[in-house]
Amino acid sequence: MFKTQNTILSAAVVLAFSGAVTAVLGLIKGRLLVSYFGVSEELSIFYTADKVPNMVYSLLVVGIFSTVFIPLFTEKVLSSKEASWQFASQCINVSVAFFMLLGGTLFILAPLVIRLLSLDKFTPSGIALGANLMRLMLGAQLLLVVSSIFTSMLQSLKYFVVPAIAPVVYNLGMLLGTIFLSDRFGIYGPALGVLLGALFHLLIQLPLLKSLSFKWVPTFTLKDGMRSILVLAPFRLLSVLIANVISVIENTLAIWISTSSVVFLKYANTLQFFPISFFAVSLSAALLPALSSKASNKKEFKRIFLTSLHQMFFLIIPASVMLIILRVPIVRLIYGVSNFPWEATVKTSYVLAFFALSALAQGSVYLLTRAFYALKDTATPVKVSIVTLGVNVLLSLFFIGVLKWGVWAIALSFSIMSFIDFMAMLYLLAKKLGGFTLSDLLIPFTKISYSALFMGILLYIPLKLLDELVFDTTKTVNLLLLTGIVSIAGLASYLFFTKLFRVEEIRLFYSALGRIRWKLSNRPGVVTSLSEE
């Protein structure tokens, strides 16, 4: 709890474990919500109302404090602790003031915002409900803004455990609100849970900050470090704004198709983001401080980045293959309640498959973006995002408005956009660093892809045979057994093929297992590893 993690791999493991727990709790929350409210307009209103508060939060936290803030705060720490506390206090005070101004405006205009986001498809009572939910969740985001600055401070100081627990308790608060307040307050129960979770997120980090002697300073200035943030932040803010605009547009397009499509899109996106959050987000968060420290050494910078990119490939490519092949049983197991009929399962599984196609590209973009930020280049990612936003919107409008495809077309256009984003950013980073060799990029990718392809074949065949000849999958227990057996067989085959093709990352996997065995047995020994991993 109160120890530092001093390598990329150790920090990434902590964040990955936390991300997995958080994602599981998110899936449980989704199942509870659909159990209580079904595929209803009420639930669609809840998810629509959450879009704008989440956007404001993302602009401040994802836009600044998870990226731009960390390198600058790290520099302050190297000079003096007092200077770092002063800088952090400035950021907290300015952020709260900005949030109060923007949030207050949105609080007043909430009914108009909901009407615009829903294309006026919600009833007047639905618009009023959405406005009230949005106002309630704006209050939660204010707490999260302050708490997330604490998270960035602790991560900069290489304390990753407590910040990793914060999103877990946040989701626990949301679950408690859904379970204990939904019967009495209806859809307001989950919204109150968001507020409770935000409070938990804040309180869990205070003891560690107190032990580090953090002192809040009542100062408000746009000078010193804040000036550097104001210089670096605009492009990053625009990048985050674009990402949130994409999410809002996707939600609005789903409403255009049908209000229930909002639920299908939301749940498929939650499932497909599970491996991205577990592997790519956690790895990129741990990678940023390490890359920032090597920004002046291009050779070391490239080595650390490529090693992390290959590790992400090794983990996320097989995960995306499993999501595509096992999409129906996964959706049915997670959301298969009486209020979520078979038609909803099928439509959600289609959306999930098209999202999962681009898991590799989505994960890579997280790492590439952090690489640019470590080089203090916030402009390049946003320039690429502006282009890909246009591609995404035009494709979605064509697929839905002209071809009349279903909600899965939103996921397809998003995946196409993600691959364009990935290839453009990789090319521009290579140009900035003096180039990557094709062997460094393609050989590991090719080996991992072939391993995942063979794994996919060995997943699909037993899945069909067991489904048709052995298990009655209308029963939950049989469906769970089928999915478990096929998944274990697939993972075993993946490990076999990566070993056969001599994928470098499998050596690290067995090295980690050897490290665990050694610690458990308490025997002396030496395990080799790459120094920065």
Is 501 within a domain? no
Query: 53: exposed, middle or buried (C-beta count within 10 Å: 0-12, 13-18, 19+)?
Result: buried
Is 478 within a domain? no
Is 407 within a domain? yes
- What's the confidence (pLDDT) of residue 527? 40
Confidence of residue 526 (pLDDT cuts 50, 70, 90): very low
- What's the confidence (pLDDT) of residue 48? 94
Residues 526/2, Cβ–Cβ less than 8 Å: no
Is 21 within a domain? yes
Is 211 within a domain? yes
* CA distances in angstroms from 308 to 301, 366, 476, listed in the order given: 11, 11, 38
**pLDDT tens digits, 168-185:** 999 999 999 999 999 999
Q: What is the residue-wise DSSP string for 346-403?
A: HHHHHHHHHHHTTHHHHHHHHHHHHHHHHTT--HHHHHHHHHHHHHHHHHHHIIIIIS
427 or 337: which carries more pLDDT confidence? 427
Is the pLDDT reported for residue 216 higher than 70? yes
Q: Which position has the token pair 């991300």?
A: 19
Residues 214/155, Cβ–Cβ less than 8 Å: no
424's enclosing H/E stretch is: helix 408-433
Residues 178/31, Cβ–Cβ less than 8 Å: no
- What's the confidence (pLDDT) of residue 287? 82
Average pLDDT over residues 88-100: 87
157's enclosing H/E stretch is: none
Confidence of residue 517 (pLDDT cuts 50, 70, 90): low
Is 468 within a domain? no
DSSP 8-state code for residue 40: -
Average pLDDT over residues 503-531: 58
**pLDDT tens digits, 14-61:** 777 887 788 788 889 999 999 999 989 999 999 999 998 988 888 777
**pLDDT tens digits, 191-212:** 999 999 999 999 999 999 989 8
Listed range (249-263, 397-411, 493-507) with the worst mean pLDDT: 493-507
- Cα–Cα distance, 355 to 129 (Å, whole number): 30
Mean pLDDT of the chain: 86
Q: Can you give the pTM of this predicted structure?
A: 0.79
- What's the confidence (pLDDT) of residue 242? 85
Cα-based angle 383, 367, 266 (whole degrees, multiple of 5): 80
Confidence of residue 67 (pLDDT cuts 50, 70, 90): low
Q: What is the dihedral of CA 407, 409, 411, 412, to 10 degrees?
A: 170
Q: What is the residue-wise DSSP string for 96-119?
A: HHHHHHHHHHHHHTHHHHHHHHTT
Tokens, residue 6: 């001093």
- What's the confidence (pLDDT) of residue 174? 92
Confidence of residue 245 (pLDDT cuts 50, 70, 90): confident
- Cα–Cα distance, 245 to 59 (Å, whole number): 11
Range of the domain at 191: 8-436
**pLDDT tens digits, 338-364:** 889 999 999 999 999 999 999 999 999
Share of the chain above pLDDT 90, in %: 50
Nearest to 533 by CA among 314, 318, 274: 314
Cα-based angle 62, 64, 67 (whole degrees, multiple of 5): 75
Is the pLDDT reported for residue 392 higher than 80? yes
Average pLDDT over residues 303-310: 91
- What's the confidence (pLDDT) of residue 528? 37
Average pLDDT over residues 496-503: 90
Average pLDDT over residues 121-125: 91
Provide the 3-class DSSP secondary structure of residue 264: helix
With the C-alpha atoms ordered 341, 347, 353, 358, is the resulting torsion angle positive or negative?
negative
**pLDDT tens digits, 144-173:** 989 988 988 888 888 888 988 999 999 999
Query: What Rg do the C-alpha atoms of the chain give, in angstroms?
Result: 23
Is the pLDDT reported for residue 3 higher than 80? no
- What's the confidence (pLDDT) of residue 129? 96
Nearest to 72 by CA among 298, 209, 230: 230
Is 382 within a domain? yes
Confidence of residue 504 (pLDDT cuts 50, 70, 90): confident
CB-side exposure of 244: number of CA atoms within 13 Å? Answer: 22
Is the pLDDT reported for residue 81 higher than 70? yes
* CA distances in angstroms from 270 to 22, 137, 349, 351, 352, listed in the order given: 11, 19, 12, 11, 9
Terminal-residue alpha carbon distance, the chain: 21
Is 448 within a domain? no
- Cα–Cα distance, 380 to 409 (Å, whole number): 28
Q: How many domains does the chain have?
A: 1
Is the pLDDT reported for residue 64 higher than 80? no
- What's the confidence (pLDDT) of residue 6? 64
Q: Which position has the token pair 């050494």?
A: 297
